[in-house]
Structure 1
Amino acid sequence: MKISVELTLTPLHDNYEPAIIQFITKLRASGLKVLENPLSTQVYGNYDEVMTILTSEIKDAFELIEHGLLFMKIVKSDRHDYEPHF
């Protein structure tokens, strides 16, 4: 089953950029389809593969920060090519 996941990692401390950069860099290297914008990162692929990679990468990201939030939305379909029709 294909899924689309939107992620927003928010470390709650100063000097937050290194943790975010490492998280996104590792997602890019995973082989998954990854798109970014200034507010979030989207990941697309097969459910099992995406969730396995995210489980590992989220844990690694949390180990780099003292306090933080991760917002995640999951859609059951691959929406990487979505374009508004209005």
Structure 2
Amino acid sequence: MNISVELTLSPLQDQFEEPVIAFIKSLRASGLQVIENPLSTQVYGPYDELMNLIQTHLKEAFESFDNGLLFMKIVKTDRSDYEPHF
């Protein structure tokens, strides 16, 4: 089963860019399709592989700062080819 996941990592500190960049680079290195925009990062792939990837790399990201949060949306389909029709 393929899924689409939208992630927004928000370290609650002044120096927030470095942990976010490291997190996105770790997702890119997975070989899965990763699309970034200014507000979030979307990752597409098989459920088990993607959830294991998020679990591993999110733990590493959380260990790199004291306080933060992650917003995550999961869609039970691969929406990587979505184009608006308006």
Shorter-chain TM-score range: over 0.9
Structure 1 equivalent of residue 34 of structure 2: 34
Could you list the runs of 4 or more consecutive aligned residues of structure 1 that deviate by over 6 angstroms after TM superposition?
A: none
- 1:84 is displaced (CA, Å) by 0.7
Secondary structure of residue in 2 paired with 1:27 = helix
- What are the ranges of 5 or more consecutive residues in structure 2 without an aligned counterpart? none
- 1:61 is displaced (CA, Å) by 0.4
Q: 1: CA distance between counterparts of 2:8 and 2:47? A: 19
Structure 2 equivalent of residue 17 of structure 1: 17
* TM-score between the two structures when normalised by the length of structure 2: 0.98
Structure 1 equivalent of residue 53 of structure 2: 53
| Paired residues for 1:63-78 under 5 Å | 63-78=63-78
- What are the ranges of 5 or more consecutive residues in structure 1 without an aligned counterpart? none
Secondary structure of residue in 2 paired with 1:31 = coil
Secondary structure of residue in 1 paired with 2:20 = helix
Deviations 1:40-60 (A, max 9, x none): 000000000000111000000
Q: State the AA in 2 paired with 1:23.
A: F
Q: 1: CA distance between counterparts of 2:27 and 2:65? A: 17
Q: 1: CA distance between counterparts of 2:32 and 2:66? A: 27
Q: State the AA in 1 paired with 2:47.
A: Y
* TM-score between the two structures when normalised by the length of structure 1: 0.98
